[in-house]
Chains A and B, each alone.
Chain A
Amino acid sequence: MSAVLTNPPPVPAQESPGLWTLAWRRLKQDPVGMVSLAIVAFFLLMMAAAATGLIAKDWSKEKGVSYANPSFLAGAENLEAKAMAARETSKAPPVDLSDIDPLAPRYKEWEERAAKIAVTEVKRAESLPFGGDKWGRDVLQKVVKGSEVSIFVGLAGALIATFIGTLLGAMAGYWGGRVNDLLEWFYNIFTSIPYILLILSFAAVAQATGSFGKGIFSIILILSLTGWTGIYRLIRAEYLKHASREYVKAAQAIGASNMQRMFVHILPNVSHVSLVQLSQHTVQFIKAEVILSFLGFGVPVDQVSWGTMLAEAQNELVIGKWWQLAAAGASMAILVTAFSLLTDSLRDALDPKLK
């Protein structure tokens, strides 16, 4: 045997890439993947900016006239705005109650005082970048703020669901036996009830009693508590497959403990599945949140979501006001398409099938 090497060779100049490095390289070569990644990143930045109040802060201010036209249709007729304006100016003259009104003598004094304070009369805008809704709120700002809610709910829900699904799937797939039986029982219960019905049941209880917390946390909880089943199934199958692989037996042979085998050995071989599932469920939850908000079970009334915008848009289309529908529909379509394509590209990058 040769003498003890005191200086091991330095790290070679040409690195040995691991899974994630290789996957990133593959992703970089995929134009569709990179474009989707850019779009998703853009939306995420937008969400962060909206959340911290940098943009879309004043989405609820009624800046414009009712159903303000979008900028590119600035000159078009706006019958509704005119009708609204007409209503305001045609108010009936106030009835004079000064003889029975105890406060009547003071009015003149108060009016003089009020006149001294400068009041900025905000003129309502005739047109807004993407138009206005019924109350004159800026559709562009609503879309941006709405994206914050939808993306946050989608992402947070997916993170929790993926965590639950991965953990339970790992336990069921690795341990088998009684643990598996118990978790399978659990899984069967949740999947016997059709998904929509499960969500609606949770939503019904959440609505009636507020037991799931307030506002969007309630939706996040509902979506994640009902959406973990698909991930569980996949991760469990992966763990079952890997647990009988020889490298795990080899780990057992050298004396690695169960925890070590589950999380140090198998998990790195399975984590790419979790990542793709996370991406896929984010898309699914965004779509679900929109529908829930539409039905009124989602965000509370003082917040805006793409779903609430679509709810409003439902009645607007027949009177020819299509911009809220287009704005909400299009931004959602762009984000979901980008996220879906990103999911596909991620899957290909992480687990390329030799064509």
Chain B
Amino acid sequence: MDEQNLILRIQDLDVRFRIDRKSEPFQAVKGISFDIPTNTTVALVGESGSGKSVSAMAILGLLPENAIIAPASRILYGARDLTKAALPEMQAIRGKEISVIFQEPMTSLNPVFTVGEQIGEVLRLHMGMGMRQAQARVVELMNEVGIPNPQLRVNSYPHEMSGGQQQRVMIAMAIACEPKLLIADEPTTALDVTIQKQILDLIAGLQERHRMSMLFITHDLGVVGDIADSVVVMQNGVIQEQGPVKAIFESPQHPYTKALLACRPRLDRRPKRLPVIDDFIKGDGRPNLAERTRGTTPEDPIILEVKALNKTFFLKEGLFGKRAIPAVKDVSFRLPKGKTLGLVGESGSGKTTVGLTLMRLHDATSGEVLFEGRDLLALSEREMMAYRRRIQIIFQNPYASLNPRMTVGHILVEPMKIHAIGKDERERVDMAFRLLERVGLAPQSFYKYPHEFSGGQRQRIAIARCLTMKPDVLICDESVSALDVSVQAQVLNLLQDLQDEFGLSYIFISHDLAVVKYISDRVMVMNDGVIVEMADSDEIYRHPREEYTRKLLSSIPKGWQAAAQAT
């Protein structure tokens, strides 16, 4: 790492957003400073709302129109202060000396131009290349970023490519002019786990080969461990800690950094409770390391059994035809009472469809779901009502699963009314208050609307809603995937407490292997609608038998495991 030569120096960056005419502008970045040396990867880490993306976008002046950069801020690039540079000057730098890769490749690419045209645009603009010359170079670039058949793919449109390939196109656009600094804003967050690893390897390799610096923005510390040279940790618009990656991982100073490092579920240990940020800020920071054993035995009583479940979607095609898309193919499994069954897979594997079909939110094509001896799929809608209470689901998106027009109180009382729980309104309201307390929310929440709560709090409301019906089985469909790491830990702890207290049985669906291993007793791996492997969680991680399982396991960023040993 070159200490003398700096590519970029950020000093006292202060960014505010104008919301409307009356209110004070919202301060997203509160005066931060850090450096980016040459030929170095700096990771900018933080949870949502930390200001990391805003800081990065400020460098190239790509902030939205209502953003205000305070005059005291300086972004020094060579001799120039980019915050004060004129637009044409910035335009000459963008894409040529400093480039960006964004998080969502599908929407970041222009849908009406071919990928060849879009990559070529940078070359023609900054390098003055003619059409044919640019075309040749584009093919070279596409090869370098690992797109197969570049001569053919040059004429493809973005929507004709997969997410991973689209991101490769974005990368090709970014490195085309050999920039000195590459800003990567959560480039792998929207991709599948196995693809993530490929893209990360690609980016790391390119950085080395072209000797660029990189500013890598992410919320995932695991990724940081793999590729960063130095780390900057942000929270609420402020830098809490920064330093070389080894120092950050081995001897973190700030409680927030310690908390971030500790509250991710790990693959090698399974503490009874995941440490949360509060533990570090209020306590001494040494989490309780007592472990919990997990596993199943053949004698465990079974509460739910699924036999040969099939779900096929039909799309119209041709003049009169239909195309069959099988999403779930002959899935069978057993859920032991009081235990957690983890269901792991990438997007498109069919894992969410299994959950929805179990609950009859989708109509199954065939198969049986046996609950207390009765096949739920064979019941009429009215008979099913009696069982609806007993199997509930918590969805992935906390922002979409609560009706924005209903107060929390209404949301909680409604299921009780439908299932005639509680003898009158008073009793139901009482129960609602008790549940709010149980999930850790203030009693005032009863009168509030969902939009006043954060993601983690909304998931708690969703959990409380399920609990009003005293279910036996709870399906968690990617219920913590959309949450920040620290919040995730809190919700996972809550779910575990509830299982211990009420003897709930869980089906935990996720793409995140570390989380699944932590919370599950038994794990099923799904790929392309089929269960590839099923075993107790410790077993599956120590001795994976199938190739796909091994592939999934190897995609977990290793830097985390290696760096986290010392904590």
Contacts and interface: CB of A to CB of B under 8 A. Distances in A.
Direct contact of A and B (CB under 8 A): yes
Interface of A: 1-2, 4-6, 8-9, 11-12, 15-19, 29, 245-247, 249-256, 265, 268-269, 355
Given A4-B434, A17-B449, A247-B402, 9 more contacts: A6-B430, A8-B443, A16-B447, A16-B449, A246-B401, A249-B361, A250-B401, A254-B419, A254-B465
A247 B392 contact: no
Nearest to B448: A16
Contacts of A247: 400-404
A250 B65 contact: no
B444 A9 contact: yes
28 contacts: A5-B434, A6-B430, A8-B429, A8-B430, A8-B446, A9-B433, A11-B447, A12-B447, A16-B407, A16-B448, A29-B20, A246-B400, A246-B401, A247-B403, A249-B356, A250-B401, A250-B462, A250-B465, A251-B414, A253-B361, A255-B389, A255-B415, A255-B419, A256-B414, A256-B418, A268-B403, A269-B404, A355-B66
Give the one of A12, A15, A249, A255 with max B CB within 10 A: A255
A5 B427 CA distance: 9
B246 interface: no
Contacts of A4: 430, 434
A245 B399 CA distance: 10
Given A4-B434, A8-B443, A12-B447, A254 B469 contact: yes
Contacts of A18: 405, 407, 449
B385 interface: yes
Nearest to A6: B430
Interface in B1-43: 20-22
Given A16-B447, A16-B452, A29 B434 contact: no
Interface string B382-425: 00010011001101110011111111000000110011000000
Contact of B395 (A12, A250, A255, A355): A250
A254 B385 CA distance: 9
A255 B385 contact: yes
Contacts of B447: 11-12, 15-16
A269 B359 contact: no
A253 B393 contact: yes
9 closest Cβ pairs, A-B complex? A268-B405, A254-B415, A246-B401, A246-B400, A16-B448, A255-B388, A246-B395, A247-B403, A255-B418
Contacts of B393: 249-250, 253
B322 interface: no
Contacts of A19: 404-405
B441 to A, nearest CB: 13
B201 interface: no
A229 B393 CA distance: 38
B323 interface: no
Contact of B403 (A6, A8, A269): A269
A254 to B, nearest CB: 4
B160 interface: no
Contact of A251 (B20, B403, B407): B403
B49 to A, nearest CB: 15
Contacts of A6: 430
B300 interface: no
B286 interface: no
Interface string B84-117: 0000000000000000000000000000000000
Chain A contact residues: over half helix, strand or loop, or mixed?
Answer: loop
Contacts of B388: 253-255
B250 interface: no
A1 B501 CA distance: 10
Contacts of B433: 5, 8-9
B500 interface: no
Contacts of B22: 29
B438 interface: yes
Contacts of A253: 359, 361, 388, 392-393
Given A8-B429, A249-B361, A2 B434 contact: yes
B28 to A, nearest CB: 14
A17 B407 CA distance: 10
A265 B411 CA distance: 10
Nearest to A352: B20
A249 B393 CA distance: 10
A355 B65 contact: yes
A265 B452 contact: no
A7 to B, nearest CB: 10
A246 B394 CA distance: 10
Contacts of A1: 434, 438
A4 B428 CA distance: 11
A250 B465 CA distance: 10
A4 B431 CA distance: 8
Nearest to B501: A1
Contacts of B434: 1-2, 4-5
A250 B446 CA distance: 19
Contact of A246 (B397, B415, B465): B397
Contacts of A265: 403, 406
A326 B405 CA distance: 46
Nearest to A268: B405
Nearest to B400: A246
A12 B446 CA distance: 10
A17 B438 CA distance: 25
Residue from A19, A250, A265, A268 whose CB has the most chain B CB atoms within 10 Å: A250
Q: Indicate the member of A247, A253, A269 with the most B CB atoms within 10 Å.
A: A253
A350 to B, nearest CB: 12
Contact of B418 (A5, A8, A254): A254
Contacts of A12: 444, 447
Contacts of A269: 403-405
